[in-house]
Structure 1
């Protein structure tokens, strides 16, 4: 009898509760929604490094160049970042295109025939590059004023560079006044995986002023690559404005076109969130 009364009571409670569940919309947690951010920015890097060009006579030429003068040598640039976040998980992307004109370089050649001796000379190089980064992250530290994400991703650098050299020297028995001239143009595709951290440290209680930071290291086509950035930012209702400094480096070896390549300079960005 008691069991029968209990069953009837539970059934009544369930029937009375059904309309309430049907009429009440489910509570949506902000952490379950996708949030997006788009960041156009201007990076004014100086670019320097060393390129190794292959020569027609099976020789090679190492050209040390830079830093390029951004305002004198730049021909065109385009830069954009994007991010999507859901709770503690995020994915992000970064795309850059840079095209620099001719810049003076110190060239060291080594080859056969007219270039059988190792010679130093001067020349001009040009540089064109496309950088694309794709990555994902997970929040590992979430405090009142500190946020830290662990990140992993892949970085692609497509490089096209040319070298023009003319010199007056004695080489390979050609006699004084022999003036070898040559032009070399090569391209390379560099794929590197990376791991790192990124986050922010709030400077004020309301979080409007904060210090963003980013650091990664990686390898792949390059023997080693790393990147770091930090600065100061201010958050508003529509998004954030950030002034920072960014450093990015690649180091290769052997016969790779890119022996070393470094980008460093200030960044001004505006992040729109939706």
Structure 2
């Protein structure tokens, strides 16, 4: 699959309104306080992620899809994104889930059999689920910087269907009209996450970085996020850029998935 990343003007409009909201609110230190009590956070978010990538079928066909930036939302049938954390003292547990179903009528499929490369039009339907679960430990908590180390697992569930154009004339293509692919991978990951307070204000810079892999299918996976946020007593608002990458391999044939784009999040603290 191949999807193009998009930019969301509305998200940047929201970012421009954050200073106005800040002027109406009491200054709150956005750095979490480590105590011997439980603390929880739930974060629903909107991730306007473009996707680039390819999916292989029996090592002889490879499907690519391109969706322009103005058509990504119209090709999204359903999607959901949620992040959650629980902490007790310095120890914690975090979970993240991303699910999306997309359909696109402008994809391309290439026949790789016998060294030939016949490219035909196709329709791609994709169901993507990425789920992360990790234990955390607060390695540093000061007045202006908070850092958690994390170790856990990431689960990938990718199912796709490609319907090829039947009107293929004067080409060596001999494939089936409909191709199916199902990819499942479980990989260990490790990384860091946290935030940096900007001066004595309620503004902060959230960051996230992990890397892992090593399963039979997913040779490498990584996620990175960096942004700007503002803290209130009960909720934090943040705008950031998020990237998730997978390098896949099956019988010496490689493919990849790369999701990247701006995200708007609201973290409810209790």
Shorter-chain TM-score range = 0.7 to 0.9
* Residue 32 (str. 1) matches residue 74 (str. 2): no
Residue aligning to 1:259? 255
Q: Distance in 2 between matches of 1:256 and 1:216?
A: 26
- Per the alignment, residue 22 of structure 2 pairs with none
Deviation at 1:132, TM superposition (A): 1.1
Matched, 1:46 2:50: yes
The correspondence of residues 122-271 of structure 1 with structure 2, limited to 5 A, is: 122-166=121-165, 167-171=168-172, 182-206=177-201, 208-219=202-213, 220=215, 221-255=217-251, 259-271=255-267
Q: Classify the secondary structure of the residue corresponding to 1:144.
A: coil
Where in structure 2 are the equivalents of 1:3-82 lying within 5 Å? 31-54=35-58, 60-67=60-67, 69-82=71-84
TM-score relative to the length of structure 1: 0.78
Displacement of 1:257 in angstroms is 9.2
Q: 1:254 to 1:187 in 2, by over 3 A?
A: closer
Aligned length: 232
Per-residue CA distance 1:112-141 (angstroms, 9 max, x = gap): 7xxx84423332222111111101111112
Q: Distance in 2 between matches of 1:33 and 1:169?
A: 71
Contact 2:146 2:195 in 1 (8 A): yes
Secondary structure of 2:35's counterpart equals helix
Q: TM-score, normalised by structure 2?
A: 0.79
Larger RCO, structure (CA 8 Å, separation 6 or more)? 2
Shift of 1:63: 1.2
Separation of aligned partners in 2, 1:256 and 1:64: 18
Deviation readout 1:48-89 (Å, 9 max, x if unpaired): 2000013xxxx6201122346421210011111110011211
1:83-102 matches, cutoff 5 A: 83-102=85-104
Contact 2:34 2:90 in 1 (8 A): no
CA shift in 2, pair 1:270/1:170, >3 Å: closer
SS in 1 for 2:250: coil
Is the 1:230–1:246 contact (alpha carbons within 8 Å) kept by the matching residues of 2? yes
Maintained 8 Å contact 1:187/1:257? no
SS of the aligned residue for 2:74 comes to: helix
Unaligned runs of 5+ in 1: 1-28, 173-178
Unmatched tracts of structure 2, length 5 or more: 1-32
